[in-house]
Each structure stands twice: as structure tokens, then as C-alpha cells.
Structure 1
Amino acid sequence: MASPEIEALTQALSRLPGLGPRSARRAVLHLIKKREAAMAPLLRALEAVNERLVTCHVCGNVDTVDPCGICKDARRDPRALCVVEDVADLWALDKSRLFPGRFHVLGGRLSALEGIRPEDLTIDALVTRLEQGGVDEVVLAMNATLEGQTTAHYLAERLERFPIRLTQLAHGVPVGGELDYLDEGTLAQALRARRPLG
């Protein structure tokens, strides 16, 4: 039987996304075996993150500075704004280096089941950013879930008064995807989003 401290660490790790009790126990055993090589650097990194991370007051990104590095980057196109559900989505899009503009993190998505309403998200802050001017295009980069699409629809209605180009990420057949493996919803979306060739 493990000590209460080891059990507490295992419990704490098992609450992380993607780690169940067995994976957490394996991680704890690895940390114990490799105390100097694994545990000490992990403790230092966790402590630094806990002490230094802040939320950017402009976009909602998490960084060690406020405004964040993305908001301060003069090479970014301030006329293009990509709205995402959470920081993980921002990081994924930024890592791709395909979007040259800036971001806005909503902090979630509308969900009747979870009781998440528009006032629970940073939609008012988004509207304020647009009222300040200078944005020509808003890209709604919501996840292809019912809640994500509900959020995108709500935002489209809320932002229609602004003289901006409002776009949404394309959904449908993934690169390398085979039609017979796709669900009906994905196929329907791909058919609706079809475009002319040439």
C-alpha cells in the first residue's frame, strides 16, 4: 500500500485530462524512480508556471507577460481577429503559423447542458475590441461540436452590426479521409461547404 503522500499525488495527477488512475500511478512511479532527472525539473517548472503565468487582458491568452507575446507582436496583422473557444485552440492555431492576425479567447462555448450563457464568456470584451475599430475580418474558429456551432451562430448574430468580413473555419472531409469512414454530419457539412473548382 502506498503512503498517503503518494496516494495524494496519484489522485492529483488522475484529475488531469487524459490521465486515469492507472496512468497517474505509472507517472508517479516514474517520478519516484527518476527523482533527480524527472521530479525535480517538474517541480521547478510547476512552481515557475504557478508564480509567473498571467492571463492577457487583451485576448485571454496565458503567458508570462500582459499583454501577451502575440498581442505585442508588431508583425501580426491587427485587422484580422480569430475567435477561439479556449487557450488550447489558440495555441494550436498559432503553432500552425497559418493565421497572421491576432486572437480572442472566449473562455468556453455556449452550452445549455452545462449552464454556460453568453455572459459567462468574454463576448462583451470581443464586442468592445470591435467597437474600437481597426478589425476588418473576424474568423470564428469554433470546434465542430453542437455547442461550438451554437456559439458561432450566436456570435454571427451579435457581430452582424459591425462592418467586418465574418468567416468561419471550414468543416468537412479531412485530408486523407475516406468517405465511407465519415459520419453523416461530417458528410453533410462537407456537401454544404462545397465550392467550385478552378
Structure 2
Amino acid sequence: MAREGSDDIQALIAQVARLPGLGPRSARRVVLALIRRRATQMTQLAALMARVAETSRECVRCGNIAEAELCPICADPGRANGELCVVESVADLWAMERGRAFPGRYHVLGGTLSALDEVGPDDLGIPRLLDRIAEENVTEVILALNATVEGQTTAHYIAEALEGGSVAVTGLAHGVPIGGELDFLDDGTISAALRARRRL
């Protein structure tokens, strides 16, 4: 059987294949493309990866990825407007920021509650979130969690923990995406869109 490159190349392919969204075939294509452009892309990529590995850390307040103790969002006094958006992951935070529609601050849980995986409130730092809400005079908590069973379970748990307090708890609307066609939507999305209908 023919070998595909040296042991180092095989090890690199195996490491790349472990990245989300990439399998062995995609990893081989990525590694071959980098090797073909090793003088430009590969060297720059290696240097950037080493620098990010050295300088990146979690924001001590919200869990975002930052280069300082506080991320730029938490360090910005203009974002301290009483609105706190709770998300599952840093990827979700970045997706919200791409829309440039939310002017407040975030809190990254790092996952969702899951009895199957033995992930409880303490594993997600939910008690720390509740302390933060009290300390920062938060007036509204927006639960921007994924519309999965685990995401909704986590949202209900946090909402119940905040029930009876002075903090408004809201969630993102679910329904028909902009540019979406009804024929291509699943039943759950159509049902959520009907429940969230509004007067025109």
C-alpha cells in the first residue's frame, strides 16, 4: 500500500482531521494545499497559530476569547447598559456580534445542561452567572440558547432561577429566517413562527 507522505505529514493530517468539520479527506486536501504554499501561507499560519496559542485566554468576566484579562466588549463602558445576553459558546457570541444589533454584554456558558452527559449547573458556572447578574445591576437577561432540547432546558433552568426578581428574562424569537421559503422549513420552525406571530 502506497504511503501518503512522511510520518510528520501523516501526523499533521491526523491533527487537522481532528478539527471540527474536517475529516481525513478534507484534512489531506488542506495539508497538501499548505505544503504547496509553504513559503507563504504555511509559514504565516504557523507563526499566527503560535502567537494566538501564546496570547489568547478566556475573558475572566464573560468567557469570550481575549488577549487581556477582559475582552474588548467587557472593557467597553458603553456596553454596560443593563442588558446581558447568555449564549452557549464563544462561536454563538461571535455570531451575535456579526449582526451588530446587540449593544450590551454577554455571558458564555460553555455548554448546556445535560443529564446524559452529567453536565449540571455548577459545570456551566450558572451560580457565577446569577452572582454576576446581581453585581452588575443587570435589568434584562436575553437567553440566546440554541433551539435544542438541551438549550431550552438550560434556558428554562436559568429563567426559573431568576423568577420573582427584578430582572426581565427574554429569549430570541424563533421562526422563518429572512429570505426563507416555507416549503424548505422543518415542522418545528414553522410551529415556532406561528406561535411568535405578530400584528403587521
TM-score range, shorter chain: over 0.9
**How many equivalent pairs are there?**
197
Paired residue secondary structure (2:46): helix
Equivalent-residue separation in structure 1 for 2:165 and 2:43 (angstroms) = 51
TM-score (norm: length of structure 1): 0.95
- For residues 141-171 of structure 1, the C-alpha deviation after alignment (integer angstroms, 9 at most, x for no partner) is 0011111111111111111143111110000
Q: Secondary structure at the match of 1:118?
A: coil
Q: CA deviation at 1:196?
A: 2.2
Contact 1:130 1:162 in 2 (8 A): no
User: Which of 78, 82, 86 in structure 2 is aligned with 1:79?
Assistant: 82
The equivalences for 1:113-152 within 5 A come to 113-152=116-155
Q: 1:163 aligns with which of 163, 166, 179?
A: 166
**Aligned counterparts of 1:46 and 1:145: Cα–Cα separation in 2:** 33
Show the 5 A alignment for 1:44-193: 44-193=47-196
Matched, 1:31 2:39: no
**Cα distance in 1, alignment partners of residues 186 and 58 from structure 2:** 37
Secondary structure of 1:78's counterpart equals: coil
Partner SS state of residue 16, structure 2: helix
Provide TM-score, normalisation by structure 2: 0.94
CA offset at residue 130 of structure 1?
Answer: 1.4
Give the counterpart letter for 2:143 in structure 1.
L
* Conservation of the 8 A alpha-carbon contact between 1:136 and 1:165: yes
Q: Is the 8 A contact 1:86 1:105 kept in 2?
A: yes
Percent identical pairs in the alignment equals: 55
**What value does the CA root-mean-square deviation take over the aligned residues?**
1.2
Paired letter, 2:145: M
Q: Deviations over 1:43-68 (max 9, x none)?
A: 11110111001111111111101111
Matched residue of 1:119: which SS?
Answer: coil
User: Does 2:16 correspond to 1:13?
Assistant: yes
Find the residue that maps to 1:75 and give its secondary structure. Answer: helix
Q: Distance in 2 between matches of 1:43 and 1:182?
A: 41
Deviation at 1:75, TM superposition (A): 2.1
Q: State the 1:13 CA deviation.
A: 0.2
Per-residue CA distance 1:70-103 (angstroms, 9 max, x = gap) = 1001221431100000100111111211000000
Unaligned runs of at least 5 residues, structure 1: none
Give the Cα separation in 2 of the matches to 1:74 and 1:36: 43
* In 1: Cα distance, 2:141 partner to 2:6 partner: 53
Counterpart residue identity of residue 137, structure 2: G
Match of 1:109, SS state, is coil
| Correspondence for 1:41 | 44
